[in-house]
Amino acid sequence: MNKKKRIKEMKKDKVEETRENEYLVMLANRLTELRKEKGWSLPQLREETGISRDKLNYAELNKTGRKLQIEELGKLAETYNVSTDYLLGLTNGREPTIKLVCPKNAADPNNTMTEDESLEQLNQQTTINNTITNLKEEPLEIFDKLMLKFKENNLFKNLFAYIYISYIVENVLETTLSSIKKKIKGTRRLEQNDKDKIKLLINYCKYFIYQDIKFYGYNYINIIAERNKEKFELAIKECNKILKYNENKNIKIEIKYIEDLKQPFVMILEQMLYDIKEKQFMTSLEETKNSIISNDKCCTIINQIIKNF
């Protein structure tokens, strides 16, 4: 039994890992597409960018081990005349980032400064622009940090649970139950798929009654389950009758008791969605933001910018 649980957890982790790599998949696809449009080989691209062939190859194949640095990502964007946001799939527009207005023109629109004053102003603005550029943390690193916070706050696991329970509400308690009612009314045989979904419903009812299923930080689920314990028990009884229907079509089944499950399931879903959005997701964003802005290098650069002003 423990082995089965471990295998199940491994599969879940694999799904989570796949979701995390969507950013890198887009980068790989767009790098490959842009290189082919230029008609370049990897060695030619290496000559154009100065980035090692292995790193370029790893990036296009989305292989781990040789991650592009922010400077290298910027060099690729410059070489292909696109924005880094386009490479990462944050936008579908290829236009590179718009450059700042010339500092001299912005600071001295009437051209009244002396040459030395203009040069000093230009140097000051260049310093500010450089420190702001250094302040931008690599998008992939920010993404990795955010995914790590999602894991730490159990967002992925609770999101999976939310999807499973949504399936029960929208499929099992709606489409499947309606189909079963028609088949019973016409004394037709139930399909194995019908029975499998009813078994799934029974399992979740038992999870809630006996509190066998653990949702991270969701104590209210147990409260809702306790208040609706009788509904769950009555529904389980009628669901078991459905499983035996093919052997005895004269058995009386009170479908209404199963339909009554929709209210507690919807209540659980609504509360889960609120927590996922307002607590786990927003908390993860806040913690990621705090992790980035508390960086000593970040504070140093901000202080440099303040001094220049």
CA distances in angstroms from 204 to 91, 162, 222, listed in the order given: 41, 12, 12
Residue 103 has what pLDDT? 42
* Separation of alpha carbons 49 and 63, rounded Å: 20
> What are the boundaries of each domain within the chain?
17-98, 153-286
One-letter amino acid for residue 239 of the chain: C
- Per-residue confidence in pLDDT tens, the chain, 309 aa: 455 556 556 555 554 455 446 667 888 888 999 999 989 998 899 888 888 888 888 888 887 777 777 778 888 888 888 887 788 777 787 776 444 344 444 455 555 666 566 556 666 666 555 555 554 545 566 667 777 777 777 777 778 888 888 999 999 999 999 999 999 999 999 999 999 999 999 988 888 887 655 555 566 777 888 889 999 999 999 999 999 999 999 999 999 999 999 999 998 888 888 877 877 777 777 777 777 666 655 555 555 555 554
Structure-block tokens of residue 302: 């901000």
- Residue for token digits 């509360």? 271
Q: Centre a 10 Å sphere on the Cβ of residue 220 and count the other Cβ atoms it contains.
A: 14
State in words which class domain 17-98 has. mainly alpha
- Using alpha carbons only, give the angle 230, 234, 238 rounded to the nearest 5 degrees: 170
Q: Do residues 20 and 48 make contact, with C-beta atoms less than 8 angstroms apart?
A: no
